[in-house]
């Protein structure tokens, strides 16, 4: 079943701007548009600050019941999408299941760069309580590299005309100037940041310097022959880039079952725990460079991982890459076996000792690891002797098993839901049924089925 993608539009637009992308991505992704307050069919009565727009989007996602979802944010909608994503990975908004973000000529978390003369012109358009057809036509033309075909041009102009003037004004005066850049740390969600090559204030340079640094797993591309209205101007090129990004960077690794995802999103789980599980559930980036190990050491560790923690199915965690992050961030368990150097040095030495054996295939490596564990293997090179290599392998095996067990999909597979013992309220729900084989009504069936 395709992942649901919630699409947040630009200033003066509506969910109609995603109709071309929706048809082009059908079968891969299921695009669902959300009209932000004061635009499209949405009233401005719910509020037009960034916070109020974010809450509207979060409630729409929550009502949808989606447990496997992504975000596309265009221009104004990009700022909203960035905040929603940040509040999802820190657990504070009660949502779970975010897998990726796509930003199209997005307004950044910091104040949006905008020519002040142009800002005043757009404010003047709405000063008499409506935005006229000539002004709407001028806005669309000013934001495209070349004039749109008649049908999309007419739809884009109509969207501008039906915008609530107060919502239009509120974004220009306040929303675009709001600064969220210091509220959230860099976000680990896979992100595709796109710019129109001929865009002005929010073009390639702005996207590289203002948006991309916020996404630690982000990548950037510029779309030729496009300015600011990317979904209208170049739907084929944008859809192709999203599809490639999805297949290459997002659509792999285990998925958290819907029942478990709903429990994680429930009040039974604290925001901090929900945020930790959200980050653990993110797909790995197997093509990125390792941070603590060499590429050869990482490949050797991947071979060791396949032997030590064989994973069922065809959607596997890259346990070795997660260990590499653990080493780079110095997030070990705080102790090491007697006689071994610090974790990262021990890993490098142990992997170097096993490199030639790993190159001979998993079956050969399995026999070698059995010999190491039995104390019957003597390394032919490197600083570790047989007993040290045995101690390191035991430690590394524990690390690999921990990384596998820490993923919420694994927790679901082994029927573990002990993280759902109480949320952030004063009263913790806890567990009422503690007997063997007993299951509370809220618990997902997991492996117990």
Residue 258, in any domain of the structure: no
In terms of domains, do 323 and 232 share one?
A: no
pLDDT exceeds cutoff 90 at 286: no
Residue 279, in any domain of the structure: no
In terms of domains, do 302 and 246 share one?
A: no
In terms of domains, do 123 and 190 share one?
A: yes
Percent of the chain with pLDDT over 90: 90
- DSSP3 helix / strand / coil % (the chain, rounded to 5): 50, 10, 45
In terms of domains, do 22 and 108 share one?
A: yes
In terms of domains, do 296 and 239 share one?
A: no
In terms of domains, do 58 and 171 share one?
A: yes
pLDDT exceeds cutoff 70 at 143: yes
Residue with tokens 């073009």: 203
Using DSSP's 3-state secondary structure scheme, residue 20 falls into: helix
In terms of domains, do 245 and 293 share one?
A: no
Residue 428, in any domain of the structure: no
Show which of 250, 271, 305 is a domain's final residue: 250
| CATH number for the domain that contains residue 49 | 3.40.50.1820
Q: Is the model more confident about 438 or about 407?
A: 407
Instruction: Please tell me whether the overall predicted TM-score, pTM, comes out greater than 0.85 for this model.
Output: yes
Residue 446: band (very low, low, confident or very high) from pLDDT cuts 50, 70, 90: low
In terms of domains, do 339 and 236 share one?
A: no
Contact 220, 195 (CB under 8 A): yes
Name the domain count of the chain: 2
In terms of domains, do 18 and 92 share one?
A: yes
Domain hosting 330: range is 289-406
320-365 pLDDT tens trace: 999 999 999 999 888 888 899 999 999 999 999 999 999 999 999 9
In terms of domains, do 239 and 293 share one?
A: no
Helices 76-89 + 271-280 axis angle, to 10: 110
Residue 420, in any domain of the structure: no
In terms of domains, do 52 and 201 share one?
A: yes
Residue 7, in any domain of the structure: yes
Residue 331, in any domain of the structure: yes
pLDDT exceeds cutoff 70 at 448: no
40-71 pLDDT tens trace: 999 999 999 999 999 999 999 999 999 999 99
Residue 50, in any domain of the structure: yes
Locate 250 and state its tokens: 């997002």
In terms of domains, do 294 and 245 share one?
A: no
Residue 324, in any domain of the structure: yes
Question: How far is residue 245's CA from residue 432's CA, in Å, rounded to a whole number?
Answer: 45
**How does 92-127 read in b/e, with b if 16+ C-beta sit within 10 Å?**
bbbbbbbbbbbbbbbbbbbebbbeeeebeebeebbe
């Amino acid at each position: 079943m395709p992942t649901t993608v919630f699409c947040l539009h630009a200033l003066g637009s509506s969910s109609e701007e995603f109709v071309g992308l929706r048809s082009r991505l059908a079968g891969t992704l299921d695009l669902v548009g959300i009209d932000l307050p004061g635009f499209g069919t949405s009233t401005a009565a719910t509020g037009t600050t960034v916070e109020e727009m974010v809450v509207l989007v979060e409630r729409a996602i929550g009502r949808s019941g989606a447990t496997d979802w992504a975000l596309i944010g265009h221009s104004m909608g990009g700022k909203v999408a960035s905040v929603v994503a940040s509040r999802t990975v820190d657990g504070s908004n009660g949502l779970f299941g975010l897998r990726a973000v796509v930003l199209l000529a997005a307004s950044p978390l910091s104040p949006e760069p905008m020519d002040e003369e142009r800002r005043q012109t757009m404010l003047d358009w709405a000063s008499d309580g409506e935005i006229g057809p000539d002004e709407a036509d001028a806005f669309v033309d000013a934001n495209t590299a070349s004039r749109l075909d008649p049908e999309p041009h007419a739809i884009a102009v109509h969207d501008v005309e039906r915008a609530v003037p107060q919502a239009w004004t509120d974004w220009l005066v306040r929303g675009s100037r709001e600064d969220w850049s210091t509220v959230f740390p860099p976000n680990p969600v896979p992100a595709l940041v796109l710019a129109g090559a001929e865009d002005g204030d929010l073009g390639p340079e702005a996207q590289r310097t203002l948006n991309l640094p916020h996404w630690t797993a982000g990548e950037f591309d510029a779309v030729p022959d496009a300015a600011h209205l990317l979904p209208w101007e170049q739907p084929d090129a944008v859809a192709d880039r999203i599809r490639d990004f999805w297949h290459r960077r997002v659509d792999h690794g285990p998925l958290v079952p819907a029942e478990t995802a709903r429990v994680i999103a429930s009040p039974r789980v604290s925001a901090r725990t929900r945020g930790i599980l959200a980050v653990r559930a993110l797909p790995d980036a197997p093509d990125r460079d390792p941070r603590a190990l060499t590429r050869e050491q990482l490949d050797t560790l991947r071979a060791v991982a396949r032997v030590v923690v064989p994973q069922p199915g065809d959607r596997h965690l890259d346990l070795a890459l997660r260990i590499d992050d653990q080493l780079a961030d110095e997030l070990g368990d705080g102790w090491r076996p007697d006689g071994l150097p610090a974790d990262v040095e021990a890993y490098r030495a142990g992997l170097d000792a096993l490199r030639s054996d790993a190159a001979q295939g998993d079956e050969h490596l399995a026999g070698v690891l059995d010999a190491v564990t039995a104390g019957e293997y003597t390394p032919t090179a490197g600083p570790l002797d047989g007993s040290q290599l045995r101690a390191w392998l035991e430690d590394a095996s524990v690390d690999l098993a921990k990384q596998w067990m820490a993923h919420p999909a694994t927790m679901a597979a082994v029927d573990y839901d002990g993280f759902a013992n109480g949320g952030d309220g004063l009263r913790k729900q806890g567990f009422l049924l503690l007997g063997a084989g007993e299951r509370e009504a809220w618990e997902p069936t997991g492996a117990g089925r």
